Amino acid sequence: MDVVANNLANVDLTGFKRDTVSFKAFPELLLRRFDDDGVRKLPMGSTDIAPIVGKLGMGVETNEVYTDFSQGPFKQTENSFDFALEGKGFFAVLTPEGERYTRNGTFTLGPESLLVTHDGYPVVGESGELIRIKENNFIVDQDGKIFINRRFQDNEERLVSMTENEWEDTIQLDRLKIVDFTAGVAGNRGDRYLKKQGNSFWRETEDSGPPALIPDGRRPKVHQGFIETANVDPVAEMVRMIEVNRAYEANQKTIQTHDQLLGRLVNEVMRV
């Protein structure tokens, strides 16, 4: 219920990835009747022929809560500071705790002309430097390369409009740092073991392995002016919530029935 409720609560969060739960069953027990010893003597030994009553399940437990990193739908915003990744990978963002990784590409222009998240954390370029740009004076291609017009870039007081910018003196400033995690344990992808940190951020763990730059040819496409919405289907999550509630009520009713039957049995034994 906690997982489903969290998915529904973040259905409008850009770049959010839904969590899902896997369960593990305890071993089943084979029941035989107590009043028959079930031992048959044979010349070469003995065999057990006690009548089998059936199997008794011992229930299940939560095995793992993991994140589904499937692609979310795109939404066009026409905002030059919005970016969406098509494919596996994460933007790198510098936080006070170190580098963190996100699929939320809703960036903005921060102090000192830095490209930052809405929380004020700078976006990291592939060169390792922070990205300094000017509004209406940068474009990003699908390979993540950032191009600026050198004519307007050096004058900090010069405001630029998109209509006047004809990109006559274009140079590549940097490239967005996009990483992935492929060194996971047990043959799984490393992103399976990333740790959620809030604000759409993930951090690496010992099991995920360190982040690695995605080589050319495998890099996800970067779409400027788009955002990736959450990969949560609200209808499907509501159905899961109903299923969880009904399963809880059914198990609660089963426990109450067992308790009532046990109480009647104890009363009968005490009367005898």
Residue 262: both structure tokens together: 């046990």
pLDDT at 47: 65
> 3-class SS at 112?
helix
Q: Which of 13, 17, 141 is nearest to 89 (CA)?
A: 17
Compute CA 188 distance to the chain's CA centroid, rounded to the nearest angstrom.
15
Cβ neighbours around 270 below 10 Å, total: 7
Q: How far apart are CA 123 and CA 100, in angstroms?
A: 10
> Max CA-CA distance within the chain?
104
Kindly calculate the radius of gyration of the chain based on its CA atoms and give it in whole angstroms: 29
Q: How far is CA 170 from CA 108, 147, 150, 159, 167, in A?
A: 22, 6, 6, 17, 6
Contact (CB, 8 A) for 244 and 119: no
**How is residue 57 annotated by DSSP?**
-
Q: Which of 207, 198, 214 is nearest to 88 (CA)?
A: 214
Q: Give the containing element (helix H, strand E) for 264.
A: helix 234-271
Domain ranges in the chain are 77-180+211-228
Cβ neighbours around 176 below 10 Å, total: 24
What's the pTM? 0.79
pLDDT at 53: 76
Instruction: Profile the chain (272 residues) by mean pLDDT over runs of 10 residues.
Output: 94 93 86 65 67 80 88 94 95 94 94 91 93 90 92 72 76 94 68 86 89 91 96 95 94 92 88 77
> Is residue 54 left, alpha or beta, with left meaning phi > 0 and alpha meaning psi from -120 to 50?
left
Q: How far is CA 25 from CA 54, 66, 232, 258, in A?
A: 17, 18, 27, 21
Phi then psi dihedrals of residue 113, to 5 deg: 60, 30
**How is residue 131 annotated by DSSP?**
-
pLDDT at 37: 59
Contact (CB, 8 A) for 129 and 98: no
pLDDT at 230: 94
Give the angle subtended at the CA of 167 by the CAs of 165 and 172, to the nearest 5°. 130
Half-sphere exposure of 211 (CA within 13 A, CB side): 21
pLDDT at 11: 93
